[in-house]
Structures are given as structure tokens and as C-alpha cells.
């Protein structure tokens, strides 16, 4: 047994990653904690991740004694305890890409790493076996900021393979940071050409890793599997070819089902980080004792009822990974030489995140901002080279409307595209990439509503 008397400096504190039972002195009494030592939250402190997932920190001198314990290791693949499947339940495939929903804390560094295996997720949440017959396919262990268009293709083909194997639905476990971009890209892959996927494709993530007490991973995954197993088959026109299931509020109990084309991550850490843009959720899933209670929002049923029947996509249309799209933010720091330098690398399109209704700094009414005139010239040159130049909305919510101000009308005369867009900026850029990959007429099809990316009514 190892003991530490910090007051007498007899023994050093344990290193991060060591599992201990420690007795610490509080204001009133001594308490005992069991858990893993983390890198200290502050100098002169010890931080312990308790077995319930929460962290505690104490000044080093408060530790009266500690005992080293064996580290709890995750079971190997041969020791998993997943319950037997019910043959009467629908089949759902879990496609695993990585992200926080599939992550654990590395206690030697305190950092979260994507290192769960799919089988571990099934084993850790036995309630999944009462919802569907699950199998898992691992295509990566990536954080979502590392995902590129070639990975969209891999995910899309894995979804198609799952349907070909007889699965009723698919759940894609994905990191949250670019989840809304991947969901838009997959939507066009399966529904951009007037088709629909063979069943629900549900993307899910979590804001807190699954070994934290405040994790949202379990409820998010349960709800996603439920929607994949029992949610309505997508019609394709309602932005439902791919959906995103995440916490509806900070509290547990209610999950939101969002259109994969009308969603954006709006907060870096809250559990309800995903909000609809110019839209409302498709449905809510409320967790009750006997399972989930599903409530469709009225707009979704209305669109479904009038939607034309689409054929099932035999295979997804894929992305040309070599396409390059340059993006710039309109504002005081945008300069012509920046655009020229990037365009000279051979990009296939240029996207500006415009201010307000979609405006760019191209006017010099007081003759004291020559930078603006230079911007007008370089943008005009891009259009003259038949390089698509598109404006999306920097405000996120609301449309791009270049008819309201003379500035916008000037941009349209220049050949700048984007007037009338009300899709999310990410959905527009994914659509642009997809259209370029399919050799489509960007000018003609950009504002067309292909699969629910543009909504007739802007909703609060």
C-alpha cells in the first residue's frame, strides 16, 4: 500500500492515469474518493475523475492519504456482454466514424480521444437491443474536423450497403463540429437528383464524451436508433433524406429530429448546441418509461402529405474530392489580393459570406476606400472567367435578398449568384460542391429546391 503525507512531503502525488482511493480533508471532515487521477485543474492541486464521471479537485495539502488501485480496463471484444437480439425487431446499422460520441478521456493527458470501437457502444448501452437489431460498421475513428469530401463518399456508400443488406435504417455516429456539413452533403448524395434513400439515415453525435457524468451520448444514440427503426420513410422533398438527432434542450428527456439541410451547430459545448436555421425541427422524441413518444411538427406532416413520390436511389451520387471551393468573409479585412492569390491556385468556385442580406464591400462612395473598387474588379474578373461566385448569408438566419438595396442589384448585374437563397451557408456550399461534381449548371440550379434545402416559408 502506498501512502502520502503531503504535510510532511514524504511522498509525491500520483501521476495522471493512476486509479486511487484518496482521503481528503474538507472544511468540516475527511471524505473518501475513488477514481482516476487527471492532470491537475490548477497548480498545487490534485484532480480526480470519480467513478460516476464527475471531476473533483482539492489543494494538494488536503490529501491525507491515498492508495493505488488496479485500473478498470474496458472489456476486450471477446468479453462483450451485449444482450441477444430480438428477431422481431427492425434491423438498423450503426456506421461509426468517430467523434465525441465514440470517445473516452485519455487520463494520462486529460484530453478526449476518439477511440471507442462500435461493439463497445452496443455493449455499453444494452437498452439499444430493445429498440432494434443492431449491427455496426466501423469506417473510421476521426474527429469531425478531419472529415473531407472523400469521407462523405465512404459514408454514403456504407449507407447504401446497409440498405442493400436489408437494414430498415442507418445511424451514422459522427463528431458534432462538422456534423451539419456532412448531413447536408449526404442529403444531396441521396436526394439531389429527385430520389430518396431506401430508409431513414440518421446522424447523431454528442457534446460530452460517454464516460462523463453529464454525457448526452446515451440518450442521443437511443433516440437516433429509434428514429432509424420506426421513423417515417423519408420523402426526400422535406429535407428528411438525412436527419440529425440531438438534445432538444440542455436537460435530458427530449430529443429533437432535425432536417440535415436546415441545422447548424450554434454552441461549442451546450448539449442543445444544434438549432434549426430558417426552419423548425421535424419532430421531437420524448423519453418515457415504455420508450420514446414521437411527435411530428405540423409543417412536416403537411409537406409529407403533398410530396410527390420519389424513386429510391439505387446508389448515392458522389463528390469529386478534388474540387476546390474558396470561401471568404465579407467585411473590413477582405482585400482583392487575397481573392486573386486563392483563385490563382485553380479553385472551381468562390463563396462569399456576405453581410446583411448578402452584400459585399465593393463601393467607394466617398473616394476614400480604394480597396473596395479593387474588390469589385477582381470579382468581375472571376465572373468573366465563368468561375461561379456565390453569396451566402453571414447572418445565418434569413434569406439572401439582393433586390432590396442598390448594392445587391449591382452584384446581380455583375453576375454574382445567390439571390433568393434561404438555406444554411453550409448546405449551400455542400450543394455547390455536389453540383460541380455532377457537372450541373450552377447558375440555373443553385436556387432550385432539390431536396428541401430551400423552404417556402421562413420559420422563426
pLDDT of residue 26: 86
In the chain, what percentage of residues exceed pLDDT 90?
64
State the cell numbers at 21: 482511493
Residue 132 domain boundaries? 80-306
- In 139-197 the beta strands, taken as DSSP E runs, fall at 169-173
pLDDT band at residue 8, thresholds of 50, 70 and 90?
A: very low
397 has pLDDT over 90: yes
Over residues 141-186, the pLDDT tens digits come to 888 899 999 999 999 999 999 999 999 999 999 989 999 999 999 9
Whether residue 311 is contained in a domain is answered as: no
Catalytic residue among 47, 97, 100, 243: 100
pLDDT of residue 347: 97
CB contact at 8 A, 81 and 123:
yes
pLDDT of residue 251: 87
Q: Are residue 212 and residue 192 in the same domain, yes or no?
A: yes
62: left (phi over 0), alpha (psi -120 to 50) or beta: alpha
100 part of the active site = yes
More confident: 84 or 56: 56
Distance CA 187, CA 261 (A): 7
Q: Which of 69, 65, 47 is nearest to 5 (CA)?
A: 65
What integer is the mean pLDDT of 18-45? Answer: 86
Q: What is the CATH classification number for the domain harbouring 378?
A: 3.40.50.40
Rg, Å, the chain Cα set: 26
407 part of the active site = no
Over residues 183-192, the pLDDT tens digits come to 999 999 999 9
Distance CA 345, CA 324 (A): 9
Distance CA 356, CA 352 (A): 12
pLDDT of residue 126: 78
Catalytic residue among 176, 178, 195, 243: 176
Whether residue 36 is contained in a domain is answered as: yes
Over residues 342-367, the pLDDT tens digits come to 999 999 999 999 999 999 999 999 99
- Three-class SS state of 162: helix
Q: Are residue 63 and residue 106 in the same domain, yes or no?
A: no
In the chain, what percentage of residues exceed pLDDT 70?
86
Q: Are residue 173 and residue 236 in the same domain, yes or no?
A: yes
Which residue has 483563385 as its cell numbers? 343
Q: Are residue 56 and residue 127 in the same domain, yes or no?
A: no
Distance CA 134, CA 90 (A): 9
What integer is the mean pLDDT of 206-219? Answer: 69
**H or E segment at 285?**
strand 283-288
Distance CA 423, CA 194 (A): 18
59 has pLDDT over 60: yes
424 part of the active site = no
300 has pLDDT over 90: yes
- Please state the separation of Cα 321 from the chain's center in Å: 20
Catalytic residue among 49, 123, 177, 195: 177
State the cell numbers at 311: 424513386
State the cell numbers at 441: 449548371
Over residues 410-429, the pLDDT tens digits come to 999 999 999 999 999 999 99
Q: What is the CATH classification number for the domain harbouring 25?
A: 2.30.30.520
Catalytic residue among 49, 265, 407, 431: 265
Whether residue 453 is contained in a domain is answered as: no
Whether residue 312 is contained in a domain is answered as: no
Distance CA 223, CA 183 (A): 17
User: Residue 94: CB partners within 8 Å, gap ≥ 6?
Assistant: 118, 121, 122, 134, 135, 136, 137, 171, 173, 225
Per-range mean pLDDT, top range of 42-51, 68-77, 192-201: 192-201
121 has pLDDT over 90: no
State the cell numbers at 386: 465563368
5 part of the active site = no
Lowest mean pLDDT among 5-9, 38-42, 92-96, 211-215: 5-9
Q: Are residue 431 and residue 287 in the same domain, yes or no?
A: no
3 has pLDDT over 50: no
Amino acid at each position: 500500500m502506498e501512502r502520502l503525507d503531503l504535510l510532511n512531503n514524504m511522498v509525491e502525488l500520483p501521476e495522471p492515469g493512476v486509479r486511487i482511493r484518496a482521503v481528503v480533508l474538507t472544511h468540516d471532515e475527511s471524505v473518501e474518493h475513488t477514481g482516476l487521477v487527471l492532470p491537475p485543474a490548477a497548480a498545487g492541486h490534485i484532480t480526480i475523475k470519480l467513478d460516476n464521471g464527475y471531476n473533483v479537485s482539492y489543494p494538494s495539502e488536503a490529501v491525507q492519504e491515498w492508495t493505488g488501485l488496479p485500473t478498470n480496463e474496458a472489456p476486450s471484444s471477446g468479453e462483450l456482454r451485449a444482450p441477444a437480439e430480438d428477431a422481431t425487431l427492425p434491423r438498423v446499422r450503426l456506421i461509426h466514424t468517430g467523434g465525441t460520441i465514440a470517445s473516452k478521456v485519455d487520463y494520462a493527458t486529460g484530453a478526449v480521444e476518439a477511440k471507442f470501437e462500435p461493439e463497445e457502444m452496443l455493449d455499453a448501452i444494452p437498452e439499444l437491443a430493445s429498440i432494434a437489431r443492431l449491427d455496426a460498421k466501423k469506417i473510421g475513428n476521426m474527429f469531425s474536423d478531419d472529415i473531407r469530401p472523400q469521407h462523405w463518399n465512404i459514408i454514403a456508400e456504407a449507407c447504401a450497403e446497409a440498405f442493400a443488406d436489408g437494414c430498415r435504417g442507418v445511424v451514422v455516429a459522427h463528431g458534432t463540429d462538422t456534423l451539419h456539413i456532412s448531413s447536408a452533403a449526404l442529403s444531396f448524395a441521396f436526394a439531389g437528383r429527385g430520389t430518396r434513400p431506401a430508409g431513414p439515415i440518421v446522424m447523431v453525435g454528442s457534446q460530452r464524451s460517454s464516460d462523463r457524468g453529464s454525457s448526452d451520448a446515451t440518450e442521443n444514440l437511443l433516440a437516433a436508433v429509434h428514429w432509424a427503426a420506426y421513423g417515417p420513410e423519408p420523402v426526400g422533398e422535406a429535407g428528411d433524406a438525412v436527419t440529425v438527432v440531438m438534445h432538444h434542450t440542455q436537460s435530458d428527456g427530449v430529443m429533437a429530429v432535425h432536417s440535415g439541410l436546415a441545422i447548424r451547430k450554434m454552441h461549442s459545448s451546450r448539449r442543445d448546441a444544434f438549432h434549426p436555421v430558417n426552419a423548425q425541427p421535424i419532430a421531437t422524441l420524448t423519453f418515457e418509461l415504455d420508450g420514446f413518444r414521437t411527435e411530428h411538427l405540423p409543417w412536416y406532416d403537411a409537406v409529407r402529405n403533398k410530396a410527390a413520390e420519389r424513386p429510391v436511389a439505387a446508389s448515392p451520387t458522389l463528390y469529386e474530392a478534388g474540387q476546390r471551393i474558396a470561401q471568404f468573409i465579407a467585411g473590413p479585412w477582405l482585400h482583392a489580393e487575397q481573392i486573386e492569390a486563392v483563385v490563382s491556385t485553380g479553385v472551381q468556385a468562390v463563396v462569399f459570406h456576405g453581410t446583411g442580406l448578402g452584400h459585399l464591400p465593393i463601393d467607394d462612395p466617398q473616394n476614400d476606400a480604394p480597396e473596395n473598387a479593387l474588390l469589385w474588379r477582381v470579382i468581375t474578373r472571376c465572373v468573366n472567367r465563368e468561375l461561379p461566385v456565390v453569396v451566402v448569408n453571414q447572418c445565418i438566419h434569413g434569406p439572401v435578398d439582393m433586390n432590396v438595396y442598390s448594392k445587391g442589384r449591382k452584384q446581380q448585374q455583375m453576375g454574382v449568384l445567390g439571390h433568393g437563397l434561404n438555406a444554411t451557408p453550409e448546405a449551400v456550399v455542400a450543394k455547390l460542391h455536389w453540383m460541380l461534381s455532377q457537372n450541373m449548371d450552377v447558375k440555373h440550379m443553385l436556387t432550385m429546391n432539390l431536396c428541401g434545402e430551400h423552404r417556402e416559408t421562413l420559420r422563426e
